[in-house]
Amino acid sequence: QSVLTQPPSVSGAPGQRVTISCTGSSSNIGAGYDVQWYQQLAGTAPKLLIYGNTNRPSGVPDRFSGSKSGTSASLAITGLQAEDEADYYCQSYDSSLSGSVFGGGTTLTVL
Amino acid sequence: EVQLVQSGAEVKKPGESLKISCKGSGYRFTNYWIGWVRQMPGKGLERMGIIYPADSDTKYSPSFQGQVTISADKSINTAYLQWSSLKASDTAMYYCARHSSGDDPFDYWGQGTLVTVSS
């Protein structure tokens, strides 16, 4: 059972918009700690996609965006492409565990 | 260019010991934490612990405390993850990643080391 809760799977057709939620609690996201998002393509290491809730590292397309409100965060992907098919993980800091925690991951399928 | 290069895949028997490595380059190794992350087959990411190579300050996640040892040799820009007695349940991919502190991101990742424990 992950401290941060994500839906196991989402799907969308090419060109559509999808969102992935990440629900935490008052000891992590709700405490004001930043949320990060990672993309893991099949057979590869995770890659930082969004940091500090809303920021994109250099090279990440602006089709990817992050938001945060209260005890939850979301990753939105617009103009869905086949290459976006991957697992996505949220991550934040948890004060009760005194360390970073990951969500359980969400598998995105592009139909 | 920041790079974290991990040691190669390992196949071990239950009860054996193992030490895998993660070598950093392209940045000041002692200015950042290195984290270790486990990914069991078909499962998600789990933070195992982090180490600050400058002084070897180490923090373990509760589930991994006492199960593994994280260390670093700042003279060769390398962090390590080791087991004294492997179990079949240690079979997983292990990643190292660079981390600033607190709620900062893991911004660069190693390629992963696959550890297979089987009799």
Instruction: Give the CA distances from residue A22 to residues A38, A68, A89, B50, in Å, rounded to whole numbers and listed in that order.
Output: 12, 9, 9, 23
Average pLDDT, chain A: 96
Q: Please give the pLDDT value at position A1.
A: 79
Report d(CA A93, CA A103) in Å as an integer: 11
Report d(CA A90, CA A92) in Å as an integer: 7
Note whether B47 contacts A48, CB cutoff 8 Å: no
Chain B contacts of A51, Cβ < 8 Å?
104-105, 107
Note whether B45 contacts A105, CB cutoff 8 Å: yes
What percent of chain A stands above pLDDT 90?
Answer: 97
Note whether B45 contacts A92, CB cutoff 8 Å: no
Residues in a beta bridge with B75: none
Confidence of residue A109 (pLDDT cuts 50, 70, 90): very high
Note whether B106 contacts A100, CB cutoff 8 Å: yes
A40-53 per-position pLDDT tens digit? 999 999 999 999 99
Provide the pairing of β-strand B92-99 with B113-117. Answer: antiparallel
- Low-confidence residues in chain B, pLDDT < 70: none
Chain B contacts of A52, Cβ < 8 Å?
105
Q: Please give the pLDDT value at position A94.
A: 94
